[in-house]
Chain A
Amino acid sequence: MSVSSGPSRQARSHSARNDVARHVNGVLFALPAILLVSLVTILPLGQAFYYSFTNWNGATASWVGLSNYANLFADPELSRSLLNSLLLFLSVPFGLILPFVTAYLLHKSVRNGKLYRAIIFAPTALSWVVIGIVSRQFFSGAGPLNSVLSLSGMGSIAPNWLADSTLSLGAVVFTFNAALFGLNTTIFLTGLATLDRSTIEAARIDGANEAQIIRYVILPAMRRFLQFVFIITVVTSFTGLFGMIYVMTGGGPGSATLTLDFAIWRRALSMGRFGSGVAIGIALMTLTLLAIVLIRFITGSRERDDA
């Protein structure tokens, strides 16, 4: 080793030793997260995928090919839950109109704005179980809704909402959209707060009216927020309503309000048909991902580059 190359070699070996130490520490610090995600998400996902092609009952499993997936369409209960999930999905664009209008009005209004925002966000604290219970009381035979109907002279049409298959599905769709109203309004408000005031004023000076400003300035600028709200609402409708359905309707009457995630519970955990249950789970995940791709496509993602 020549004297002149000493310091630089020393520096290099020092930095190499540092790199090794940094890599070892990096792996160690990430290890708990890697282990948990591997054992509680990735491993069971692989198992679910494999067993979805079998008639698994928890102990034994023999290969049945695609029949669990074919059953999604053939079995009346499962095809009904597919249809219900689709209806919930289709209700979302309509369910987003009122939160957007409310956020827009709150953004313009200043008096009591903070208080109103806090109250509108507050129901987000309630769990789907509590929301389902409140809604069950609201729609019950002698509940608040029917009391209002009879007080306003429409007592003759006050039905038993949750006992009727069409009305109960309507009640579930309504409750779901109403429960997410506060969260979605709040996210829209966050988006409106990022709007560039000078663009709006420039449009106004150019003679644009309010409707034109909303259509050509605000909505395009809000694209990312609209997309985000659309996606989280649809994902919730597919995968997050178990608690609400459990207490509100139990999936009934019959299978009128059965959703895919509730069908997994019914099939597998009360009937022991695990193979069928995991197939519904895989279908549920696939549909969720397809819906996200579809929403991204519809709402466009031109702004992703500057996101």
Chain B
Amino acid sequence: MTSASPAAAASVPEDHGLGRIGWKGHLLILLIVAASLYPFGALLVTSFLPPVNGAPGQLWRDLFSQIPITSYMLNSAIVSGGAMVLVATVSCMAGYSFAKLTFPGSVQVIAIVIAAISVPQATTIIPNYLNFASVGGVGAYWGPVLMYAASSIPFATVLMTSFFKSLPDELLESAVIDGASYAQIFLVIMVPLATPALATVGVLAFLTAWNDLLVGLLFLPDPAMRTISVGIATLQGVRDGSMNLILTGSLVSAIPPILAFIFFQKYLVSGIVSGMGK
């Protein structure tokens, strides 16, 4: 345990002074790992098993022939991609302002933005629905894009602000002395440095929008504009007997978030945990 020999230290590089776990601990871990795989297993097995009186793969053929799944996915991509770009742009600009271009009153504005994190979407959804309906934002892609963006922007702005605060002020000052405008400094110096933080807020915003049901259900009532979550959730009411088809559709809907998790896991964990500072 406290061996000073380098060889022993190298063989247990991640020993934290707590010792090792026994076989019971290992068994518990294995059970938990198996349970964590359950939803993926259930989705895969159900979608590839042949249905009653059907051939293997029948569910996949039905999914693409009977349900406009491609258009659902496309609609989700449009609103989630739109929200992602808007959140990254707006929160990056605001973070730059709050951290480096403080103006009289900016402290109060930040306090309001932080407070907005605690307003649940369910609390404002009814007035939002009627407000958007009165200006044509219901039944158009830009309505849900703004709704998703607004729900992600407060947290994203707090995250971007703390990121820009970690950059030295001299970066800005020396560029100002060299005659650069604040917009040039933003585009040429700040945005490239902020890429990791932008990836975090962008991916989180994309996932929030992609996985949403409530806003999609209300703001895109036209069946041709349905998002994938709404498409799957409402399939249930129409076809009560086709649970397996719904599970197959769920698997398709989960592919983009799963890919995002595989490629951006490190940004996601750091982004979520950074919420602790608030």
Chain A residues with a Cβ under 8 A of chain B? 18, 21-30, 32-34, 36-37, 39-45, 47-48, 51, 58, 98, 101-102, 105-110, 113, 116, 118-131, 133-134, 136-138, 140, 144, 178, 181-183, 186-187, 190, 192, 195, 197-198, 200-201, 204, 210, 213, 224-225, 228, 232, 238-239, 242-243, 246-247, 260-261, 264-265, 268-269, 274, 277-278, 281-282, 284-285, 288-289, 292, 307
Note all chain A residues with C-beta closer than 8 A to B14. Answer: 110, 113
Contact of A134 among B25, B39, B123, B125 (CB under 8 A): B39
* Cβ–Cβ contact A105 & B186, under 8 A: no
Q: Which residue of A lies closest to B110 (CB)?
A: A30
* B258, CB-defined interface residue at 8 Å: yes
B120 within 8 A of A: yes
* Among A23, A26, A98, A195: residue with most chain B CB under 10 A: A26
Given A22-B101, A109-B21; A130-B253 close (CB under 8 Å): yes
A260 and chain B: residue at smallest CB distance: B122
**Chain A's nearest CB lies how many Å from the CB of B228?**
9
Does B72 count as interface, using CB distance less than 8 angstroms? no
Is B171 among interface residues, defined by CB-CB distance under 8 A? no
Asked whether A122 and B258 contact (CB < 8 A) given A129-B229, A282-B123, the answer is yes
**Contact residues of B: prevailing secondary structure:** helix
Q: Which residues of B contact A182 (CB under 8 A)?
A: 36
Given known A-B contacts A42-B116, A129-B211, A120 and B157 have beta carbons under 8 A apart: no
Q: Which residues of A contact B116 (CB under 8 A)?
A: 37, 41-42
Complexed CA–CA distance, A128 and B214 (Å): 11
What sequence of 0s and 1s flags, for each residue 31-70 of chain B, a beta carbon within 8 Å of any chain A beta carbon? Answer: 0110111111011001000000000000000000000000
Closest residue of chain A to B105 (Cβ to Cβ) is A27
CB-CB nearest in chain B for A227: B276
Contacts of A36 in B (CB 8 A): 90, 146, 149-150, 153
How long is the Cα–Cα vector from A105 to B16 in the complex, in angstroms?
12
A58 proximity list for chain B (CB < 8 A) = 130
The reply on B275 being an interface residue by CB < 8 A is yes
Most buried by A among B116, B146, B149: B116
Question: How far apart sit A37 and B128, CA to CA, in the bound complex (Å)?
Answer: 12
Contact of B150 among A37, A133, A197, A247 (CB under 8 A): A37
Please name all residues of chain A whose beta carbon is closer than 8 Å to the beta carbon of B113 when the two chains form the complex. Answer: 33, 37
Q: A23-B101, A108-B18, A265-B214 are in contact. Are A45 and B275 (CB under 8 A)?
A: no
Instruction: Tell me if B261 is interfacial: C-beta within 8 Å of chain A.
Output: yes
**Complex CA distance for A134 and B232, rounded to whole angstroms:** 12
Q: Check B119 against A134 for contact (C-beta < 8 Å).
A: no
Nearest 8 A-B pairs (CB), nearest first? A127-B211, A26-B101, A40-B150, A33-B94, A281-B123, A44-B127, A29-B97, A26-B103
B118 in complex: contacting residue of A24, A121, A242, A289, CB < 8 Å: A289
